[in-house]
Amino acid sequence: MSTARADPYAIDVRGLGVQYSLRLTRKTTMHQSFIRVLRRHEGPTHFWALRDVSFRVVHGESLAVIGPNGAGKSTLLQVLAGIIMPSEGIIDVRGQVSSLLTLGAGFDQELSGRDNILLAGAFLGIDHREMEERLEGIIEFADIGQFIDAAIKTYSAGMRARLGFSIATAVDPDVLLLDEVLGTGDQAFRAKSQVRIRELIKAAKGIVLVTHDMNWVTQFCNKAMLLERGHIVAEGDPADVVRIHQERSERARLDKAASVAALAG
Amino acid sequence: MATTDTTPAPKAAGVPERVVYRGTRPGPIELVAEGFRDIWSRRRLARYLVQADLKKKGSDTLLGNIWWVLDPLLQMVVYVVFVSILTRSSKPDYPLFIFAAILPWKWFASSVNDATGSVVSQERIIKQVHFPKIVLPLASTVSGIVNFAFGLIPLFALLLFLYRDRASPTALLIPVIALPQFVFTLAFSIFVAGLNVFYRDVGNLLRHLLRLWFYLSPALYSADQLAHLSESHPQVAHLLALNPFSIIFESYHAIIYDDVLPDWGGLAGLLLVSCVLLALAILFFKRVEPAFAKVL
């Protein structure tokens, strides 16, 4: 790593590994778990979503994490946000973290937009007085008119996304975690949200952005990291990493096409 | 269970100044204290969740919140008819006797039922935001109190209009019995909410278990009607004495139906045991909580 050790940093990750147990995956019933106990010696039991991941985000840095589906990008954000505990390694995140993971995740369909703003704030751990102060600003930015007092279930997908974005960006965090939120809503709102993201990036001490949009990587980030199968494959200048990623995915596509062609005979 | 307790492999040479996450696990007392801190620091979240729950419960029915009053009354009618057919000799003022037990039982059963799915149903936000999940079963249990409070309206109506000679100031002691019941309910709810994340059968099993539990508790009958049982099967009687709802129902019957003071010693013991169970439930919940986002 090129940065000197003495630089103040926002995120420091060393030897991070996240392991998933294949035994206890979603929607287990006792029946399935009995079967698993009986067959415990068969097949792989664990799966590393991330392994040997070390990096550092110093102040003023914005790191783009790219990679194919299933590379562990979202898992990395979840670990940084404290949602998932690492299985090994050390993570040090300094300052208040805000994660803009999938927007509107906690929306309660039956509640009004206004109630949902307060509820989301409470989930995020923001003091309610602060949230009530910000309420008007959030409503104004989301620009959904009198629908704000109607139940979320009556909202269009665009309105929902706008409200989610507006809530998530209402806080000014030290460390900002972004996951694919940038292509939100219509043209006008997208322009507005880009301005907001730029402001946040300017204000935050460190940013980690997960995206499939390579324009965003080169536009907003001054560092990039390529993840594949839970390992760091490349790290450094965004333009270089994007080029490596595109070459590798192109090659993977050709390999796959070749094997399909070979199978087809 | 998928706990993340793998010992951290010391990778890098220097130890950082401030480590946020490392694979170590805090001790039991620390975990329980943390659970209480979680609850206290997120009391506002719990309040919003309760408000949301109450708003929703009445919103999609024609009669709305009137159901909170009608529900226990209708259930009382069902049991009165059912028991009158089964047994010839029923107690005097039997509807009141039953109602005094149905009301607290509905509170317990609905809280436990809601709590069972409370964590699982918030799957999406659990995967997106880091917050203390213990707030979820807490909110289910607390919103049950409101239901219970609404049920007191028909209870006092019964006492004032139908069974006026049974009305006495002892009925005002309801909160004293409700407190240990609340602690017990909270402990049970936190435990099943955590367990249900790993085994979705809990909900199915619990429905039947709760029904059996109700019939084994002195709700529709009084404890002395079981006296013959303790003579022939002393073990069964001992087992029934361990049931917290023996004490709870007997106490409610005492203050509402018999107009006497409840068994203070029994209630104090129940409160003590419930507090211990609550600490154990929080300990269990905090132990498995880190795995929620992975398992869901």
For B89-132, write each residue's pLDDT tens digit. 668 888 899 999 999 999 999 999 999 999 999 888 888 888 99
Comparing CA positions, the residue from B166, B36, B46, B56 lying closest to residue B100 is B166
Lowest-pLDDT choice from A97-111, B21-35, B255-269 = A97-111
**Domain range spanning residue B165?**
28-295
Asked whether residue B109 is assigned to any structural domain, the reply reads yes
CA-based nearest residue in chain A for residue B198: A28
Asked whether residue B289 is assigned to any structural domain, the reply reads yes
Inspect the interface and report whether the beta carbons of A26 and B122 lie closer than 8 Å. no
Inspect the interface and report whether the beta carbons of B44 and A30 lie closer than 8 Å. no
Model confidence at B8: pLDDT above 50: no
Q: Could you tell me if A189 and A28 are in contact, meaning their C-beta atoms sit under 8 angstroms apart?
A: no
Cβ neighbourhood burial of A42 (10 Å; 0-12, 13-18, 19+)? exposed
Band the pLDDT of B12: cuts 50, 70, 90.
Answer: very low
When pLDDT is averaged across residues B69-75 and rounded to a whole number, the result is: 88
Q: Could you tell me if A7 and A59 are in contact, meaning their C-beta atoms sit under 8 angstroms apart?
A: yes
Those residues whose C-beta lies under 8 Å from the C-beta of residue B80, and which sit 6 or more positions away, are B94, B95, B98
Q: Which CATH superfamily is domain A8-27+44-94+205-265 in?
A: P-loop containing nucleotide triphosphate hydrolases (3.40.50.300)
When pLDDT is averaged across residues B12-18 and rounded to a whole number, the result is: 34
Domain map of chain A by residue range?
8-27+44-94+205-265
pLDDT in tens, A89-116: 989 888 877 776 666 667 888 888 999 9
- Pairwise CA distance, residues A89 & A230, whole Å: 14
- pTM, two decimal places: 0.84
pLDDT in tens, B148-185: 998 899 999 999 998 888 888 888 999 999 999 999 99
pLDDT in tens, A172-230: 778 888 876 665 667 777 788 888 878 887 888 888 988 888 888 888 888 999 999 99
- B9: DSSP letter: P
Model confidence at B287: pLDDT above 50: yes
Distance from CA of A246 to the nearest CA of B (A): 29
Q: Which of B4, B21, B44 sits opposite A128 (nearest CB)?
A: B44
Q: Could you tell me if A236 and A208 are in contact, meaning their C-beta atoms sit under 8 angstroms apart?
A: no
- Pairwise CA distance, residues B24 & B286, whole Å: 14
B-contacting residues in A 114-133 (Cβ below 8 Å): 115, 118-119, 122-125, 128
Mutation for testing the B interface, residue in A34, A76, A90 having most B CBs under 10 Å: A90
Structural domain count of chain B: 1
- Pairwise CA distance, residues A92 & B22, whole Å: 9
pLDDT value of position A219: 83
- Pairwise CA distance, residues B47 & B129, whole Å: 18
Band the pLDDT of B62: cuts 50, 70, 90.
Answer: low
| A153/A189: higher pLDDT | A153
3-state secondary structure chain A: CCCCCCCCEEEEEEEEEEEEECCCCCCCCHHHHHHHHHCCCCCCCEEEEEEEEEEEEECCEEEEEECCCCCCHHHHHHHHCCCCCCCEEEEEECCCEEEECCCCCCCCCCCEHHHHHHHHHHHHCCCHHHHHHHHHHHHHHHCCHHHHHCEHHHCCHHHHHHHHHHHHCCCCCCEEEEECCCCCCCHHHHHHHHHHHHHHHHHCCEEEEECCCHHHHHHHCCEEEEEECCEEEEEECHHHHHHHHHHHHHHHHHHHHHHHHHHHC
- Pairwise CA distance, residues A56 & A33, whole Å: 40
Phi and psi angles of residue B238, each rounded to the nearest 5 degrees, phi first: -60, -40
Asked whether residue B10 is assigned to any structural domain, the reply reads no
Q: Could you tell me if B252 and B162 are in contact, meaning their C-beta atoms sit under 8 angstroms apart?
A: no
Model confidence at B7: pLDDT above 90: no
Asked whether residue B1 is assigned to any structural domain, the reply reads no
* Phi-psi sector, B106: left (phi>0), alpha (psi -120 to 50), beta: alpha
Share of chain B above pLDDT 90, in %: 47
Asked whether residue B160 is assigned to any structural domain, the reply reads yes
Asked whether residue B3 is assigned to any structural domain, the reply reads no
Pairing of strands A9-21, A88-93: antiparallel
Share of chain A above pLDDT 70, in %: 84
Helix axes B28-41, B43-59, angle to 10 degrees: 60
Inspect the interface and report whether the beta carbons of A123 and B20 lie closer than 8 Å. no
- B169: DSSP letter: G
B1 touches chain A (CB under 8 A): yes
Distance from CA of B207 to the nearest CA of A (A): 16
Model confidence at A144: pLDDT above 70: yes
